[in-house]
Amino acid sequence: LLGCYKREGLLQVDGNECNSESLHTGVGQRRVVKIDGVPVRKELLDEILEELREWRGNNKRGGSSTNRERPSIKAECYMILRAPCVSPDGNISRREKRRHKKMEGNRKLWDLALQTMKETNPEFAQRCSEIAVTFGFTGSPHIDRQNASPFYGLALGNFAKGTGCLSVECSPRIVAHVNTKNRLGRVDGRWPHWVSDYNVEEERYSLIYYDTMSAYQTPGPAIFKIPDI
């Protein structure tokens, strides 16, 4: 695959050699399109950022770096909040009890996060079953196989504008960088996606809104707003 990219001029390598080592150290030259998410109300952003800063490093709230719930992802802190679920007979499993306890410590954060979605897409807010809360998320190309539909991402912190974007592979030759700093961006996570480079000495939190419980929607485009080119 890397050889194909090089032959099309989409991979820059040093020298004329085309061996495995040179290909793996090459620099991608795929076309990049840039898109802005939908702005979130400043008052909500301020409240959410305050909650996130209190969450980070708090082991009782799941914000400890030793309590990463998705170890395959490179992030200093990674926690998943799930919408409460009670069986018809009122019984709660041990797993649900643990989830309820975690939600009790993060109820305000969940409510604030969900309010941002209600103000942007009320219909998706009804379907949102999980919210991933992260700090220091870097790189980590992956696919979210459990998603029933596209997801939304929101990033907050003092990281530089234009960096730390939600990046998604639209096609083998095109990558989209979605600006989610203080904005809600929508992408289909069933396409390869990751976080673009930013200064890791700076502060970057993110909230990722998933729909994992509703009727499955066939994957369509990776992005939903075509930028002006």
Maximum distance among all Cα pairs of the chain, rounded to whole angstroms? 68
Question: Is 229 buried (19+), middle (13-18) or exposed (0-12) by CB count in 10 A?
Answer: exposed
- Give tens-digit pLDDT for 175-195: 999 999 999 999 999 999 999
Measure Cα distances from 9 to 12, 30, 47, 174 in Å: 7, 9, 46, 13
**Percent of the chain residues past pLDDT 70, beyond the cut:** 91
Element (H, E) at 5: helix 2-7
Encode pLDDT of 141-154 as tens digits.
Answer: 999 999 999 999 99
Read off the pLDDT band of 70 (50, 70, 90).
confident
What is the per-residue pLDDT across 197-214, written as a single tens digit (0 to 9) for each? 999 999 999 999 999 999
Contact between 112 and 165 under an 8 Å Cβ cutoff? The reply is no
Reduced to 3 states (helix: H, G, I; strand: E, B; else coil), residue 175 is strand
